[in-house]
Structure 1
Amino acid sequence: MNMPANLYSRLIGYTLLLTYILIIVGGATRVYDAGMSCPDWPHCYGFYIPFPESKIPGGYTVGFQHFTWWQVSLEWSHRALASLVGFGLLAITFMAVQRARRSQSVPQEKAALALALALLTVQIGLGGLTVLKSNINWSVVMHLGTAMLFFGSIVWLRRAVASNGHKASEKTPVPMRLSLYVMAALVWVVMLIGAFVSSSHVGGVCGGLFSCDGVWMPSPKVDIGQHIHMQHRLFALLTVILSIVLVVLAKRTAPHLRKVALHVHLMVWGQVALGVATLYSFASYPEYYYPLSIAHLAWGTLVWLGALGALLTLHYGRHGRYHGA
């Protein structure tokens, strides 16, 4: 069976986009406390399509809590999108097998796809665990962390296929290379701590911008919520500092990465601005807290994408950069 290469590339791109939307909807589900609005899994009140509410005996009620159609729609949409991503990856796998039989596979394509399949399997299990554990904070952190790694594996797969086997021609000094790896790791860790802050409902426990009730780093023995909240800020600060280091290093030692480093730096500042807005909205503009929290996650995912793109540029150079299918 002869399949056009651009169809394969487009399918990977669409799956990547769906995964991004899935992450945002998952964040909205968490923010609006809709994670338990479908109490069973993989069904929702015993149905795959739990609409309208009138067909559900007792309505959208779990224990003594009644959920709105909006909350149920969020959780159901989250699961439906996850299914679409799963089917998309299966279709990619089928086409990848056909490419391999025709010896059309490119270096690292199989590794990226294998990683994506493994992470998707883990993510499905974590999704069920999150529901069964009633969205306990550690399960939410694991679920988001794995989602980001899965998203990264699809980014890697798309870049590997789009580069068509080409590699970077420029040499990058070790300090710059290490800094890019640390940046990606830092962004991932910041997002995990942020997920813990959000799922533990401690986003507003520290009112000030530079301290928490007059203390820079509260002891976890005194208030674990305040401690984790300030840890999130600390790692965010380290990310800002490292993004500045990247710009300086790129200018002095790796001019071919100047635009990449500046792009990451500016995106980090955008995330900081959203974080500050989210912090102050908690007490001053509560009607904007939920939308800003979702925007914070959405932009943070793009920062993660930018950090990964910078890493992949080390290996592939400018080859395979996205400018359409």
Structure 2
Amino acid sequence: MTRVRWLVDATLVLALAVIALGAYTRLTDAGLGCPDWPGCYGRLTPPVHDEHIAAAQARFPAAQVDPFKARNEMVHRYLAGLLGLCVLAIFAVSRRLPRGRGLAAALLALVVLQAALGMWTVTLSLMPVVVVAHLFGGFALLSMLALLRVELGHDRPEPARPAEPGLVRLLPLAWLAVVVLLAQIALGGWTSANYAAAVCHQLPLCESGWSARFSLRAAFGLPLGHETYEFGVLPYEARMSIHVLHRIGALVATAVLASLVLLCRRRAASVRLRRLAAAVGALLVLQVTLGLVNVVGQVPLFNAVAHNLTAACLLAALVLLVRQIRVNAARGAGARGRAWAGPSHGGALEGPLRAR
């Protein structure tokens, strides 16, 4: 079991690297650094030497060969392929484990879907819907790996405490937090995929007069039928509307997640649950800070990469927090049920029940 945990830990670190490098590739406009898939200009390695660049240009005359972008894209593909092999190894060894087999199978299916989405991202020339789906797949992969690591954890569960049954009332808020965060991640991906991150430079929402040009229909219109979606195809009004929606979503998500964190810290008796709530709170503060820096600094490259990576970590931490709330609430409910039922042998309540 220890070796399996190490494998899952290594895969978690690799998933973080793939997410960060994917964001870096997208933000450096290298998503089409290789116009074909799975190779790069017909080769397994990016063209970096003059003769290889000339051959690539001759083979793809419509493309503009950029060795830097091609290298970024191929390194991302190599790491993604290694991640897929690690998930395959987890699936293979999980067949002999008492738990975690369902998650391992779901991870393998998700990796296969991610590979297909990666191919479509290139073949469909960065179509925004596909780009957002690919982003979601990476975030889901990280969250499921974190769940699997917890399932394989060797720590004994904490005993239920008197305050834990009250956590049942936090479950609706916890699930709402997940839905709100997923919606905000989708808005962030939609903003990035449509090249709308640098449209607004003023706080809190956008430059003056934005409300007169805001269009919800334009923000969610699907721009289909274009030969390429690189650098965006939507007009300014649509990009501005997408950006404003992302900022409004950030305010809503911050309020909901902060409320959940504060209530967990106040009601939870479990040390593990309190620590998870603190982790979600810390990641939330970091994410808001990085978002503000993106606005003030007009989307600095490494800050934008960190913003993307922190969003993935925030989702994974929130998923673990919701799982722990459910576990602790169930233990508390079980403890109350046992207390109501009385002793299992000859209890004061058991006798009358048997007599009936």
Task: Give TM class, smaller chain.
Answer: 0.7 to 0.9
- Return structure 1 stretches of 4+ with deviation > 4 angstroms: 59-65, 163-168
* Distance of 2:109 and 2:260 partners within structure 1: 32
| 1:17-96 matches, cutoff 5 A | 17-56=13-52, 58=54, 61=57, 63=61, 65-96=63-94
Distance 1:197 1:32, change over 3 A: same
Which is further off, 133-142 or 59-68? 59-68
Write the deviation string for residues 127-160 of structure 1: whole angstroms up to 9, x where unpaired.
1000001112211101001111122111111111
Task: Give the residue type in structure 1 aligned to 2:136.
Answer: G
Contact persistence 1:9–1:161 (CA under 8 A): yes
Give the superposition deviation at 1:216. Answer: 6.5
Distance 1:160 1:91 in 2: 17
**Equivalent residue number for residue 151 of structure 1:** 142
1:248 matched to 2:259? The reply is: no
- What is the alpha-carbon distance in structure 2 between the residues aligned to residue 165 and residue 251 of structure 1? 22
Give the number of aligned pairs: 301
Indicate the RMSD between aligned Cα atoms, in angstroms. Answer: 2.3
How far residue 214 of structure 1 moved from its aligned partner, in angstroms, is 2.2
Contact 1:264 1:303 in 2 (8 A): yes
Cα distance in 2 for partners of 1:172, 1:53 equals 65
1:114-263 mapped onto 2 (5 Å cutoff)? 114-163=105-154, 169=160, 170-171=164-165, 173-215=167-209, 218-220=214-216, 223-256=237-270, 257-263=273-279
> Structure 2, unaligned stretches of length 5 or more?
219-236, 329-356
TM-score, scaled relative to structure 1: 0.84
Q: Please say if residues 130 and 139 of structure 1, whose CA atoms lie closer than 8 Å, have aligned partners that are also in contact.
A: yes
Q: Distance in 2 between matches of 1:293 and 1:86?
A: 25
Q: What secondary structure sits across from 2:119 in the alignment?
A: helix
Q: Secondary structure at the match of 1:225?
A: helix
Cross-structure match for 1:321: none
Mean Cα deviation higher: 194-203 or 261-270? 261-270
The Cα shift of 1:67 comes to 4.1
3-state SS of paired residue (1:211)? coil
Quote the offset at 1:173 in angstroms.
2.3
- Alignment check: 8 A CA contact 1:210 1:216 kept: no
Contact 1:45/1:56 (<8 A) preserved: no
Q: Distance in 2 between matches of 1:88 and 1:54?
A: 35
CA contact (8 A) 1:93 1:113 kept: yes
Q: Secondary structure, in 3 states, of the residue corresponding to 1:293?
A: helix
2:345 corresponds to which residue?
none
Letter in 1 for 2:201: G
3-state DSSP class of the match of 2:189?
helix
Cα 1:153–1:247 change in 2 (3 A) is closer
TM-score (normalizing by structure 2): 0.78
Asked if residue 277 in structure 1 is aligned to residue 293 in structure 2, the reply is: yes
Corresponding position: 1:15 with 2:11:
yes
Q: Contact 1:168 / 1:313 at 8 angstroms: preserved in 2?
A: no
> Using a 3 Å threshold, how does the CA distance of structure 1 residues 175 and 236 change in structure 2: closer, same or farther?
farther
Alignment of 1:309-324 (within 5 A): 309-315=320-326
For 1:214, what is the secondary structure of its paired residue? Answer: coil
Amino acid aligned to 1:84 = L
Deviation at 1:64, TM superposition (A): 5.0
| 1:278 CA displacement | 0.8
Which amino acid in 2 is paired with 1:133? L
- Alignment partners' CA distance in 2, 1:127 and 1:192: 17
Deviation at 1:205, TM superposition (A): 1.3
Shift of 1:315: 4.7
Q: Check if 1:265 corresponds to 2:281.
A: yes
User: C-alpha displacement at 1:111, in angstroms?
Assistant: 1.8
Post-superposition shift, 1:279? 1.3
2:234 is matched with which residue?
none
Amino acid at match of 2:295: L
